[in-house]
Amino acid sequence: MRMAFMIPNPLLPSEYFSRPQLDSFVIEMNADVDHSLLDCPGRYSVRVATFTGAGSFGQGAMDASNDDGAESRLIKAAENAHRLTEALRKQGWQAWEFHDRESSVVCVGSLSQVTVGNQGGPQQPHPEFIRIKNGLGPDPEKLAMGTILPKRVDGILLDVDPRPIDVPRLPLGRR
């Protein structure tokens, strides 16, 4: 196994390995955001909070339902994400927010890779990822006792399990 190397699965389509493309509506939603995840310089960031809004948000969905509740839930999700991003930045975290048709997320950090290799040893999680997970994840002692209690920042609950995500990028013509 020491001489083995990793290759992509040839049975998976090439789209599986590329970042999801952003449409113009999502780009417009994130255009005026001060700390947009689209501005994050790294390839990865750690998602620490997720705020869901409506199942879908667009002209067709709004015309079909005539329900202002879906739009207001999405607006509330965006407001909570912005409030949390600002609170985390005041605490010294490099926080980013991102809004799409269904939810808003808050991410922390800017990573070029998720794992780091040891000479001849297994891959280890990136030290910055570990620092973020320990700082913003649930209390490990309470978790070991079976109590899952997410942390709160500015009264907003964080995700129970912070996870690295691919940072979305603008299409080449819009950078």
Spell out the per-residue pLDDT of the chain, length 175, in tens. Answer: 667 777 778 887 776 666 667 888 999 999 999 999 999 999 999 999 999 975 544 444 444 444 566 678 889 999 999 999 999 999 999 999 999 989 999 999 999 999 998 777 788 999 999 999 999 998 888 888 888 888 999 999 999 999 999 999 887 655 5
In whole angstroms, give the CA distance from residue 47 to residue 36.
13
> Under DSSP, is residue 12 helix (H, G, I), strand (E, B) or coil?
coil
Task: Please report where in the chains the tokens 């975290």 appear, as a residue.
Answer: 93
Residue 10 located in a structural domain: no
pLDDT value of position 70: 65
Residue 175 located in a structural domain: no
What's the domain range around 148? 21-170
Q: Which residues pair with 47 in a beta bridge?
A: 107, 163
Strands of the chain (E only): list them. Answer: 44-52, 95-99, 103-111, 115-117, 123-125, 152-153, 156-157, 163-166
Number of domains in the chain: 1
Neighbours of 106 (CB within 10 A): 31
Residue 108 located in a structural domain: yes
Residue 11 located in a structural domain: no
Task: Tell me which amino acid residue 131 is.
Answer: R
Residue 44 located in a structural domain: yes
pTM of the model: 0.78
Residue 16 located in a structural domain: no
pLDDT value of position 174: 57
Category of 10 on φ-ψ map: left (φ > 0), alpha (ψ -120 to 50) or beta:
alpha
Residue 124 located in a structural domain: yes
pLDDT value of position 57: 42
Residue 14 located in a structural domain: no
Sequence-distant contacts of 132-141: CB under 8 A, at least 24 apart: 132/46, 132/48, 132/93, 132/108, 132/162, 133/46, 133/162, 135/93, 136/46, 136/48, 136/88, 136/93, 136/108, 136/162, 137/161, 137/162
Radius of gyration (C-alpha) of the chain in whole angstroms: 18
